[in-house]
Structure 1
Amino acid sequence: MDWSKTKSIFIGVFLILNMFLYSQYIETYNGKNLEKKPGEEDAEVKLQSENITYDKLPNSVESAFFLSAQVKKYSSDDFPTNDNQDYQLLNDNQLVVNFKTPIKLSSTKEPSALQEFVNQYVYEGKSFVLWEIDEETRTATFFQSVKNGTVYYNEKGGLQLHWNTKGEVYMYKQAMLEKIEEVGRPRTIVPPLQVLKGLYNQKILQTNDHITSMKLGYATHVQFTEKQVLTPTWEVHVKTDKGKEQIHFVNANTGTVMDLQRKTQEVGEE
């Protein structure tokens, strides 16, 4: 008997069973907590009373799937011969590529220029979307996109681009998730207005704040060495009364606020 394969099968079955039981709990939880209680103000009215405004919210999404994903293990067969790219693999799941002759960016400030570079020169570049540009460190951070949703702050699904003082890209680092599959059946999604109301009730949204955008993505819910389960997650962009830009993440099944940046930092520090 191949014990390693048997062990992997048991882990997979156990993971799916746990997700099923968890999703059953979430469905019951949401059913109870999204009901209006006697005397509870309508979410829209409450936000209006505090002059918390928003642009057009996403169309109401009633349900979405949890996703299972596997950490990609790179191999030399993944990469065609390229005289200008030196490939290096770290632990089979992280790719480091150095450009022997750095490649000039048309702009280090324009998101479209960085995305175009990644699409053209980076392995599976079209699977990544720009998240942040840091001009001080001359880096751009990209997150992986799966099933039309961004995977937020996942160290196994990201890309970092590095350029020199001349605006020439000399290297990038990458890790990927693959074999993305839907788990179980669709689960109830907390509506956008209820998400905003929850942020207000927790004193995260303040009077005169403006929500500039909201969209659904994914965050890690369960993580093993080689496998992960991703949960639907609301990404909420806010401009405060003082003009400060903020981003909040909310579990789209439970309405729980998620501190993804802190979680990622803690994982990296271990």
Structure 2
Amino acid sequence: MDWKHAKTLFIIVFILINIGLVVVYFNKVNNSIVQESNAQSDVNFTKEGIDIPTLPDYKNKEMQAITANSKSFTSDDLEGVYSLSEKDTQIDKDVDKDLDQNSNQQNYKKYINKEAFKGNEYYIKSNNSDNNKVVFEQNYENLPILNNSKGQIVFHMEDGKAKKFTQTYLDKLKPGNGDNNNKQKIVDAKTALETLYYNTYLTKGDKVESVRLGYYSVVKEISGQVLVPSWEVKIKTKEDGEDTTKVLYINAIKPESTVLEES
């Protein structure tokens, strides 16, 4: 046997084994650091005295910014059934069906699917708190256009009954142009709440009443809108000792961006 070659081979194997052990060690160290960092960034809202609901789960959801225009309705769109308000971007229609505040939302949905312009694109606003209105929001890819008067059907109530509805419609909804507008993975709802907490928008004693994912417009011009993937957070809080409600919007792709408040 050539002991010289065997010795050289043994040394090489020994070195490779040690390199492998070093790599495994550093991987374990790095993983523990990441886990510790994540644990430190985790907020225990119960311990902080903040009440939160069951949060929606959109695992591995990818989204991108979209654009739209306010539709200007024409006589061809109206087919003689509706009337236009002072602006051609809004339809008015009297309600000739018995719909009241307690009617099943499916009754409203069936009604607008038949009577409204492209009513199948609208779904009821789940956290509406105005007893004088029943609000349906236009949707894009199964997510609502949040807090946008240019894409809604609103039933106006009198004495608990729907008397008329008004409708606006966002036309040409599509992904925005630009090389940086590819679909990206969104942050989860808890991360959005943590963003509010670390920026003191959420404090002890607050109650998060609802958390919704959708598209929120950062540009609301009739000629064109830019809507970004956003988490909408409705919070019950106290200001000067009085209960008040505020609605905040957090960019779902870049939560470190400016937090916007409902206007």
The alignment's TM-score, normalised by the length of structure 1, stands at 0.66
Q: 2:113 aligns with which of 116, 119, 123?
A: 119
2:23 is matched with which residue?
Answer: none
Q: Distance in 1 between matches of 2:212 and 2:157?
A: 30
1:172 aligns with 2:174: no
CA gap 1:43/1:49 in 2 versus in 1, 3 angstroms: farther
Q: 1:144 aligns with which of 124, 138, 141?
A: 138
1:222 is matched with which residue?
Answer: 219
- Equivalent pairs: percent with the same residue? 23
1:3-22 aligned at under 5 Å gives the runs: none
Kept in 1, the 8 Å contact 2:55–2:189? The answer is no
CA gap 1:127/1:237 in 2 versus in 1, 3 angstroms: same
Q: Distance in 1 between matches of 2:41 and 2:250?
A: 16
Give the number of equivalent residue pairs.
216
Code of the aligned partner of 2:251: N
2:5 is matched with which residue?
Answer: none
Q: Distance in 2 between matches of 1:156 and 1:225?
A: 8
CA gap 1:115/1:205 in 2 versus in 1, 3 angstroms: farther
1:55 aligns with 2:57: no
1:4 is matched with which residue?
Answer: none
SS in 2 for 1:104: coil
2:83 is matched with which residue?
Answer: 87
Q: 2:260 aligns with which of 258, 262, 267?
A: 258
Code of the aligned partner of 1:201: Y
2:199 is matched with which residue?
Answer: 202
Kept in 2, the 8 Å contact 1:133–1:141? The answer is no
Q: 2:92 aligns with which of 84, 96, 99?
A: 96
Kept in 2, the 8 Å contact 1:234–1:251? The answer is yes
Q: Distance in 1 between matches of 2:243 and 2:251?
A: 26
Give the aligned CA root-mean-square deviation in angstroms. 3.3
What is the CA distance between 1:201 and its match in structure 2? Answer: 1.5
What is the CA distance between 1:259 and its match in structure 2? Answer: 0.9
Kept in 1, the 8 Å contact 2:231–2:249? The answer is yes
1:236 is matched with which residue?
Answer: 233
2:63 is matched with which residue?
Answer: 64
- Structure 1 runs of 4+ aligned residues shifted over 4 Å read 38-41, 51-54, 208-213, 237-247
State which structure, 1 or 2, has the greater radius of gyration over its C-alpha atoms. Answer: 2
Unaligned stretches of 5+ in structure 2? 1-33
Q: Distance in 1 between matches of 2:248 and 2:93?
A: 32
